[in-house]
Amino acid sequence: MMKKLATLFMLSFVWIGFSQTNETITTNGGVPVGDNQNSKTVGEYGPVLLEDIYLVEKLAAFDRERIPERVVHPRGAGASGYFEATKDMSPYTKAVLFSDAGKKTDLAVRFSTVIHGKGSPETARDPRGFAVKFYTEQGNYDIVGNNLPIFFIRDAIKFPDMVHSLKPSPVTNKQDPNRFFDFFSHVPESTHMITRLYTDLGIPKGYQYMNGSSVHGYKWINAAGEVTYVKYSWVTKQGEQNLTVEEASIQQGKDWQHATMSLRKDIADKNFPQWDLYVQMIKPEDIHSFDFWPLDATKDWPADQIEKIKIGTMTLNQNPVNYFEQVESIAFSPGALIPGVEPSEDKLLQGRLFSYFDTQRHRLGPNFLQSEINKPLQDPKNYNSDSWSSAGNKRFDNPDVNYQPSSKAALKEDAQYKQVETTLTNVTITQKKISKTNDFAQVGDFYRSLTKVEQDHLIKNLVGDLGQVTDKNIQKTMIGYFYQSDRDYGMRVAKALGFSQKDFMN
């Protein structure tokens, strides 16, 4: 009987019983859309193309949906401090902050909850944003990630839909598990993130007690133009600490702004929080040597396969004195890069390169980089002119020349900062899912790495929300995903939801 039940679980991920319509999704201009799931890329694993007009329209519309609150990461806390490099990484990157052991770089951080609104409690289950802005002598460099090393989706074209499902219903204005599990049941790649989020990692005790990750891989470029793929991890020196559901409920009754207040108090008391920064590196010729695609944001880089190397330590020692100017007005983007760091071909990252800058221009105005918290150390030198709230444009030697090339122009290019050249052969422009999805293997590895108590908490937390879903087909599909990840995982969720063999035979 158990073997038969197992087979039924394996089949249950196939979607059944949902009503279908003959309506075709269209662009805002009414043009039919052929693929709403995959961005247009250069080959199966290549970068996303700007000519994907529908992707740009979809992200641009999404970025402007809420005014003036951030669409995601609206509630946040911030602080300032410095990063001290502990290892010379110049053989791998020209990035100045990693060039010499002992080198210090000023920085600002913003921690946040992702989905819930600006006034929401910090006891809610939610990924936490972990964004760091380094003020280097070659411009500002942002590492923008989360407290978990992965994400729900691998392609930015799905991001607006995912967030819509997680936000409150447009009808009831209540966040509804029926909505977001309906979405996730169609997106098996999300199983990894859901599993991690529903452990106690989903409710950190405080911002200083959580780890951080860049989530995406990037390209490091050294002085010789050689490329290394790299992923960042922040490890808290305070120890990773989280709240159970019961502890979070008690905390919410006392102070639901506890994470912000705890961080401020530690800094004010000179118990300065610290995080060690680690990197993992992959040579380009090895990028296809894993059973997963390393530039898939739903995948972790296992430390037993890709060594973690400590390269420095971040210390936060200054609280903001004006929350609006230093926390609400700070603007991060994974596209804020400096010489020595370039984007990888990660599909989700490629969309974020556009989306983050775009939403900041919408939220703060086109000249948001002129505000004090966002300004680079050195005054920008270019011929961008005027526009809304412009106060920092320079006219240099000749105030009449705001263009280049020109025989009178004071500014010239420097070829040493050109981006590395990438050679492409046998190129095909396509819209398709990557073939190496492997959506469940890392989920099972993570589940089996948990202690029995942590597994118990995961099942209880997950069933607390999944149990509110009224459509049994959605529950069955999710159970199928969990079962494919780990037999015990799927069986325990099924049992906790009250399913029997008979239910899977209908």
Model confidence over 8-66: pLDDT tens digits?
Answer: 344 444 434 445 667 888 888 888 888 999 999 999 999 999 899 899 989 988 888 76
| CA quadruple 443, 277, 289, 186: dihedral sign | positive
Computed over every residue of the chain, the mean pLDDT equals 90
Residue 108 falls inside a structural domain: yes
Q: Are 49 and 55 in contact (CB under 8 A)?
A: no
**Tally of domains in the chain:** 1
| pLDDT reported for residue 390 | 66
Query: 465 lies in which domain range?
Result: 2-16+35-378+431-505
Distance of alpha carbon 44 from alpha carbon 48, whole angstroms: 10
Name which residue leads in pLDDT, 156 or 405.
Answer: 156
Catalytic residue among 38, 140, 146, 374: 146
CB atoms within 10 A of CB 213: 22
Q: What whole-number distance in Å separates Cα of residue 22 and Cα of residue 408? A: 61
CA 369, 371, 377: angle at the middle one, nearest 5?
70
Q: Give, for 484, the enclosing helix (H) or strand (E).
A: helix 472-485
Decide if 407 is inside a domain: no
CA distances from 476 to 194, 259, 416, 480 (A): 16, 36, 56, 6
In a domain, 410, yes or no: no
User: Is 383 part of a structural domain of the chain?
Assistant: no
**What integer pLDDT is reported at residue 394 of this predicted model?**
59
- The answer to whether residue 424 is domain-embedded is no
Residue 401 is assigned to a structural domain of this protein: no
Catalytic residue among 73, 116, 362, 457: 73
Degrees, nearest 5: CA angle 334-337-343: 65
Residue 212 in this model has a pLDDT that exceeds 60: yes
In the block, residue with structure tokens 């390393």: 294
**Span 121-163, pLDDT tens digits:** 999 999 999 999 999 999 999 999 999 999 999 999 999 999 9
437: which residues sit within 8 A by CB, 6+ positions away? 188, 189, 293, 296
Tokens representing residue 300 in the block: 């972790």
CA distance 190 to 442: 12
Q: Is residue 205 part of a domain?
A: yes
Q: Is residue 423 part of a domain?
A: no
Task: Establish whether 146 is a catalytic residue.
Answer: yes
* Tens digits of residue pLDDT in 441-491: 999 999 999 999 999 999 999 999 999 999 999 999 999 999 999 999 999
Q: What average pLDDT does the segment 295-317 reach?
A: 98
Q: State the amino acid at position 451 in one-letter form.
A: T
CB 278 within 8 Å of CB 308: yes
pLDDT at 31: 80
45 is in an annotated binding site: no
Residue of 13, 10, 19 whose CA lies nearest to 475:
13
pLDDT of residue 320: 96
CATH number at residue 272: 2.40.180.10
Kindly report the pTM of this predicted structure: 0.89
Residue 192 designated active-site = no
Angle, alpha carbons 439-44-193 (nearest 5°)? 25
